[in-house]
Amino acid sequence: MVGAGGLAVTKLLLGCIADDFTGGTDLASTLVRGGMRTLQVIGIPKEPIPDDIDAVVVALKTRTLPADEAVSESLEALEWLKKIGCRQYFFKYCSTFDSTPKGNIGPVADALMASLGVDFAIACPAFPDNKRTVYQGHLFVGDVLLSESGMRHHPLTPMTDSNLVNVLQQQTRKKVGLVPHSAVSKGNGLLKKTLAQVKDSGYSYAIVDAVTDDDLRAIAVVIQDHLLVTGGSGIALGLPDNFGRKGLLIGSEAASELPSVGGLSAVLSGSCSVATNAQVAHWQSTRPSFQIDPLTLAKGEDQVTQALEWAKSIIQNEPVLIYGSAKPETVKAAQELLGVEAAGQIVEDALSRIAIGLVDLGVRKLVVAGGETSGAVVKALNVEALRIGASIDPGVPWTVGLRDVPIALALKSGNFGTVDFFEKALGQVQ
């Protein structure tokens, strides 16, 4: 394997580009479950990556960037993956096809296609496990069309048209066709023939219907030789089996094995979601915790040192929770005084410095609650790549952050996880 500039020595099976961080983790977890040893890299790493890896997910943050920036960042990621050499490339976007009429799914897919020299790719966001299904090219969220779901009010990417052929067609000059469920449900023979017909009729993309995992697996079989696949985590479900049939995978248990890191344990929480607040309260009923808050921090009180001093006396005996999480009315009051961004930033900065301090105290197992908070902590700890392990709850795996001293990280975005998530996560790691 290679770093940024070296020569390729080993081929990866699958090189993925994800348009956001948690989507990348979701994809990586799916691949691990399928038996692929998977590394999620945060941007393009400077250091070489380990060579016992089958799939790499480059997690970008391109979903809502201007299209030209999303394209150039995605192409840069592709160049890096091409240098390593991959048998297949995957462009991962959201299962609700989050995008605007200008992009970024179409422009990025067009650019990846051109760079890889391919003239056809499927687009399949379906993810039945998460109740995202596609029928006659129309995306459903649960029982309702995408355009009637909460996604129609999304602040950045409102989805007001459920017909994905139309949606993608607005984002590309290439022709967008459809492979309907009547062909998908018949599996291999008819599906392959229909896909070939769509391609031969001059279409560059096919939206492919899928309403069940069996549909996704059938689609995966017929696209096994496509150099570029685009879609949600759902379609990735069947990709490992393609490599498995060729004898190229080691099996799912071995794929999710992580090196043991030893050390002490802690939880940091910057999420104020309903689920996280309940998880914090659950922890507090039996275990020690320390609260920081943006107003106190803004007054100049050194809650970072206070939290670390407090932790020092306890953490040798039991794990601690340090949190900014608060109820909506408390958050609102801080935001009104400090501004929304500044209130968030001040807590993220403090939790990042606390993370560094905890690692200095010997913490090697860290649960972090909050998407933005996780991003800030991972950055502060200089983690460039995460080896993905088994899932604790759907969408949240244990990972090992590769750095000079490896650290086990469970990065949980807001609403994920059962009420005992923190305790459960720490009970599962060595």
**Residues forming the site for ligand ADP (CB under 6 A):** 270-273, 276, 293-294, 324-326, 330-331, 334-335, 343-344, 347-348, 370-373, 413-414
Q: Which is nearer to ligand ADP, 76 or 393 (CB)?
A: 393
At residue 179, what is the residue type? V
Please report the DSSP string for 247-310 in residue order: T----HHHHT------SEEEEEE---SHHHHHHHHHHHTTS-EEE--HHHHHTT--HHHHHHHH
Paired tokens of 428: 């599962």
User: How many residues comprise the chain?
Assistant: 430
Q: Which is nearer to ligand ADP, 233 or 413 (CB)?
A: 413
Q: Which is nearer to ligand ADP, 34 or 344 (CB)?
A: 344
Smallest separation, CB 41 to ligand ADP (Å): 20
Please say whether the beta carbons of 267 and 369 come within 8 A. Answer: yes
Backbone φ and ψ of 418, nearest 5°? -75, 170
Alpha-carbon span 392 to 362, nearest angstrom = 23
Q: Which is nearer to ligand ADP, 115 or 335 (CB)?
A: 335
Smallest separation, CB 15 to ligand ADP (Å): 27
Alpha-carbon span 253 to 236, nearest angstrom = 18
Smallest separation, CB 299 to ligand ADP (Å): 14
Lookup result for tokens 């999710």: 256
Alpha-carbon span 413 to 373, nearest angstrom = 9
Burial of residue 329 (number of CB atoms within 10 Å: 0-12, 13-18, 19+):
exposed
Smallest separation, CB 271 to ligand ADP (Å): 3
For residues 390, 246, 82, 45, the Cα torsion angle rounded to the nearest 10 degrees is 20
Q: Which is nearer to ligand ADP, 224 or 330 (CB)?
A: 330
Smallest separation, CB 90 to ligand ADP (Å): 25
Q: Which is nearer to ligand ADP, 2 or 342 (CB)?
A: 342
Smallest separation, CB 62 to ligand ADP (Å): 18
Which DSSP helix (H) or strand (E) runs through 189? helix 188-200
Smallest separation, CB 111 to ligand ADP (Å): 29
Q: Which is nearer to ligand ADP, 212 or 291 (CB)?
A: 291
Alpha-carbon span 280 to 277, nearest angstrom = 5
Q: Is 355 helix (H, G, I), strand (E, B) or coil?
A: helix
Q: Which is nearer to ligand ADP, 104 or 325 (CB)?
A: 325
Please say whether the beta carbons of 239 and 14 come within 8 A. Answer: yes
Smallest separation, CB 267 to ligand ADP (Å): 14
Q: Which is nearer to ligand ADP, 178 or 297 (CB)?
A: 297
Smallest separation, CB 165 to ligand ADP (Å): 32
Find the helix packing angle between 67-84 and 105-116, rounded to 10°: 30
